[in-house]
Amino acid sequence: MTQHLSFDGNTIAYDVTGQGPLVVLAHGIGDSRHSYRFLAPALAARGYRVANVDIRGCGDSSAGWDGYSRTDIAGDLVAVVRRLGGPAVLIGQSISGGAATIAAATAPEVITGVVELAPFTRKQSIDLGGLLRVKRFRAGYVQMAKVIMGGSIEGWKKYLDVAMPVKPADWHSELARIVAKLSEPGRMKAMQSMCKSSPADAGEQLPNVKCPVLVIEGSVDPDWADPRAEGDRIIADLPAGLGELAVIEGAGHYPHVQTPDEVLALTLPFLARTLTRA
């Protein structure tokens, strides 16, 4: 059953499944909690209470928010953890990876670990050399520009085609779900706002994180010319000894969708170390 948390007339939607230590899942832009349709039940089956969140502006959460920054999203995630009686590990993908960093830095009493999937957690600069050298990076960049500048759903569909080199068996119906949701009033505007928000707020909080962080990158993620190097930079900006990096070969920007078994195998030992069972 979908639950809702209200903030000044807006709502955050989330589902809770399973019993045990709390794990909170947060997806990326233009998506919904349905992107964790493979990972969430697998975690619940292994003894975790899993809260799968639609971040503000997405899925079944409302689309009338004043802001869509990583700091805004972090506040929502911390509120969900507090509502459900943390502590929790946050698993955040893309923009929500950066939000999870901020949540961990600003609410260390309830966040005991962070898993960042293909995260935007550092201030980005235009990689002209990468655009010239790496075809997938160039292709993703062009399609994202169409989304940011013109709100193109077709551009988003083409970006997703590059960002997920191997599609799950249900991709046809899932893509239809994504397109239908983005066609609702206010959804594309919210997505564009997220795209335009700078990850600098998350990058500034990396030195303040006190809990362990696992960064998972896909080796062919089109959002970076060199995804491993981006992951290394995140680890380097964390306090020494807190971060670890894993790279899944052949995965794009959605490793939890494309390679859920590999993500689960990396995540379970991390959860065992960072969440205490009752």
- For residue range 39-50, what is the model confidence (pLDDT) as tens digits? 999 999 999 999
- Where are the chain's structural domains? 2-274
Count CA atoms within 13 Å of residue 124 on its CB side: 22
- Strands 2-7 and 213-218 turn out to be unpaired
Q: Does residue 52 have a pLDDT over 60?
A: yes
pLDDT of residue 131: 81
Q: Does residue 114 have a pLDDT over 80?
A: yes
Contacts by residues 177-181 (CB-CB < 8 Å, ≥ 24 positions apart) = 177/32, 177/34, 178/30, 178/31, 178/32, 179/153, 181/32, 181/58, 181/59
Q: Does residue 277 have a pLDDT over 70?
A: no
pLDDT of residue 278: 43
Predicted model pTM: 0.95
What whole-number distance in Å separates Cα of residue 132 and Cα of residue 149?
Answer: 22
2-274 has which fold?
Rossmann fold (3.40.50)
Six-digit token string for 158 = 């083409």
pLDDT of residue 99: 98
Residue type, 98: G
What whole-number distance in Å separates Cα of residue 209 and Cα of residue 113?
Answer: 10
